[in-house]
Structure 1
Amino acid sequence: MSDNLRADRVLVLVPAWNEERSVGATVREIRAASPRYDVVVIDDGSTDDTAVVARDAGATVLSLPFNLGVGGAMRTGFTYAAREGYTRAIQVDADGQHDPADIEKVVAGLARADISIGARFSDVGTYAVRGPRRWAMIVLASVVSRIAKSRLTDVTSGFRAANVRAIDQYVRYYPAEYLGDTLDSLVAALHAGLTVTQVPVAMRPRAHGTPSQGPLGSTVYLLRSVFALLLAAMRRTGTGSKREERA
């Protein structure tokens, strides 16, 4: 397929680790949503049949030899997008929580920004988070909104689209550590001069399995979120210092 044809298509990147029970349905639903979507599943070192199920459902599969985490999987996906000439790419989780019907809406946000986030807290749907986890999300959104000079309510959402500028940025830098794939990568993109917008989306329940919840898990999330934000800020400070030294 030529680069011109790829420019008219949307690459849907699906990071998956041991998601054999849900990835097939997710891939089929994405493909049914629009004939313009090309689906790539990044099999993140799964020990089950994730790759086989995804391929049988019609996805292109990129298999990693061991588990790198969402950040490593997504950087692999963005590298594929850049190499194949795609100008728009979007992450959709394999667990069924991201509704493929909203892909078009999130991608449409790229008409006004380099990165478009599908925001879970914009008066759409019934998705709710309470306790320390919710407090952390509010604090993180407030801080990143100041950096972005735009009101953002959900900076840890993985349902986000990237144009060609953002794809190139993500190929250069896309951290693999906790929250790096969402928070740190977003802060780095903003400091690189990219712009961000958000569109409201409704989240769905996981197709299989249950996310970690409970007071202890929420408190740990709060502490790790603050640490992730501080790490992102420290990286920015370090980069600024190196630039001054070179100057």
Structure 2
Amino acid sequence: MAKLTPQAPMNQTLDFQPCVVIPVYNHEHAIVAVVEAVLPFHVPCILVDDGCNSACATVLDQLQQKYPEQVILLRHTHNQGKGAAVLTGFAYASKQGFTHLLQVDADGQHCVTDIARFLKRAQEHPQAIIAGYPIYDESVPKVRLYARYLTHVWVWINTLSLAIRDSMCGFRVYPVAPVIALMARHKIGVRMNFDTDILVRLYWDGLEVVNEGTRVAYPADGVSHFRVWRDNALITAMHTRLFFGMLLRLPRLLARRFK
């Protein structure tokens, strides 16, 4: 299999048609650089405007007008949350026949050059989730770095496995069809609880998780939409629901572990 590079179009096949989805909420200072770093990989780039302010909405319009063949712009009339924006991207991707969706944050914290490696891994493991785990530089807030480990422990408990190295990194590739099936059965968290919720539930559905390291900085435009009280409450409620969901699935998870 030829190595993917930013200079050459990806060798797509009928059974591997990827797209990139970027949920955007008021990241007008970073989104242009993120999109222009994605475009050389010749993969359709779906921007989901999650109720942005007028300044950011204007920037998104300009990107779509400048790159009409590569950039698709979807809009929410009001802010619904990062997860809701990604799920809107999934619904669109499914209708357009894309088989895989690579999720990238809009704030510039992700190493976009890793797209080539992640898509190559997705081609090699088409039924798996290629889940990024962060390799941080000095910009990461120490409190947030240490706090992640509480979620790591709960994820290991709720999957009875160490298969998921990091459930909070938003740089990953999903097969589209299993996510659409999951969306039809469950209401997935739509804010900062999204990344962990969907990954654990897809693991419960039997999907393999392939962990890939990726460099992460915090964040390029200095804007964070994490709301301490609201989002911590949502994450706590999510872990509680997942714990009881794990208990219901205990025999199957144990059988998978020992198998």
Q: Deviations over 1:61-109 (max 9, x none)?
A: 0011111101111110000111111111111111111121011222333
Aligned-pair RMSD on alpha carbons? 3.1
Q: Which residue of 1 aligns with 2:165?
A: 153
Q: Which residue of 2 aligns with 1:87?
A: 99
Question: Which of 73, 83, 88 is residue 76 of structure 1 equivalent to?
Answer: 88
Residues 70 and 210 (structure 1), Cα distance of their counterparts in 2 relative to 1, 3 Å cut: closer
SS for the counterpart of 2:79 is coil
Q: Which residue of 1 aligns with 2:32?
A: 24
- Letter matched to residue 75 of structure 1: L
Residues 127 and 106 (structure 1), Cα distance of their counterparts in 2 relative to 1, 3 Å cut: farther
Q: Which residue of 1 aligns with 2:62?
A: 56
Map residues 135-146 of structure 1 onto 2, 5 A cutoff.
135-145=146-156
CA distance in 1, matches of 2:233, 2:172: 24
Residue 186, structure 1, aligned to residue 223, structure 2:
no
CA distance in 2, matches of 1:81, 1:177: 18
Residue 116, structure 1, aligned to residue 130, structure 2:
yes
Q: Which residue of 2 aligns with 1:243?
A: none
- Letter matched to residue 47 of structure 2: V
Q: Which residue of 2 aligns with 1:167?
A: 179
SS for the counterpart of 1:211 is coil
Conservation of the 8 A alpha-carbon contact between 1:51 and 1:61: no
Conservation of the 8 A alpha-carbon contact between 1:148 and 1:195: no
Residue 101, structure 1, aligned to residue 107, structure 2:
no
Q: Which residue of 2 aligns with 1:233?
A: 243
Conservation of the 8 A alpha-carbon contact between 1:75 and 1:170: no
Conservation of the 8 A alpha-carbon contact between 2:189 and 2:198: no
- Letter matched to residue 153 of structure 2: S
CA distance in 2, matches of 1:64, 1:150: 36
Residues 142 and 236 (structure 1), Cα distance of their counterparts in 2 relative to 1, 3 Å cut: closer
Gaps of 5+ in 1: 241-247
Conservation of the 8 A alpha-carbon contact between 2:31 and 2:107: yes
Question: Which of 18, 39, 43 is residue 10 of structure 1 equivalent to?
Answer: 18
Gaps of 5+ in 2: 1-11, 251-259
Conservation of the 8 A alpha-carbon contact between 1:23 and 1:95: yes
CA distance in 1, matches of 2:230, 2:189: 19
Conservation of the 8 A alpha-carbon contact between 2:90 and 2:176: no
- Letter matched to residue 234 of structure 1: F
Offset, 1:47: 2.0
Residues 126 and 170 (structure 1), Cα distance of their counterparts in 2 relative to 1, 3 Å cut: farther
Identity, in percent, stands at: 22
- Letter matched to residue 78 of structure 1: F
Residues 212 and 50 (structure 1), Cα distance of their counterparts in 2 relative to 1, 3 Å cut: closer
CA distance in 1, matches of 2:174, 2:146: 27
Q: Deviations over 1:219-239 (max 9, x none)?
A: 987665444311223355679
Give the paired residue count: 229
CA distance in 2, matches of 1:233, 1:40: 33
Conservation of the 8 A alpha-carbon contact between 1:114 and 1:165: no
Q: Which residue of 1 aligns with 2:46?
A: 40
